Amino acid sequence: MGKSKILALAVATAMAFSSVTAQSGVAHVTPSATGNGTPAWFWAVFGCAGGIVFTAFVANWQQKRQLTAAEAATCGLLFYVTRPR
């Protein structure tokens, strides 16, 4: 019990005087247009595919039907805009 208190005190003291806490502050992140991150086409492709799958689940659950070709071609958005008769 005594060793753990001494060890905890030593670690707390080391952390208090470390350079990480002495230099802490708000991190300033500057956006870069040099290609850091995921490209937009990746999100467009997988977002469209996810929209088709999600809309197909909704169409099956609500109306017990499959998506039409036009609804699938618009990434599922046409399903929400126009309802079939």
pLDDT digit string, tens, across residues 6-15? 878 787 777 7
Asked if 39 and 15 touch (Cβ cutoff 8 Å), the reply is no
Asked, for residue 75, whether it belongs to a domain, the answer is yes
Residue 72 has pLDDT above 90, yes or no: yes
Asked if 59 and 79 touch (Cβ cutoff 8 Å), the reply is yes
pLDDT value, residue 8: 82
pLDDT tens per residue, range 20-70: 545 556 767 666 666 667 788 888 899 999 999 999 999 999 999 999 999
pLDDT value, residue 21: 47
Asked if 84 and 62 touch (Cβ cutoff 8 Å), the reply is no
Asked, for residue 3, whether it belongs to a domain, the answer is no
Asked, for residue 8, whether it belongs to a domain, the answer is no
Q: How far is CA 81 from the centre of its chain?
A: 27
CA–CA gap between residue 70 and residue 51 (Å, rounded)? 14
Asked whether the CA dihedral 13, 14, 17, 21 is positive or negative, the reply is negative
Asked, for residue 30, whether it belongs to a domain, the answer is no
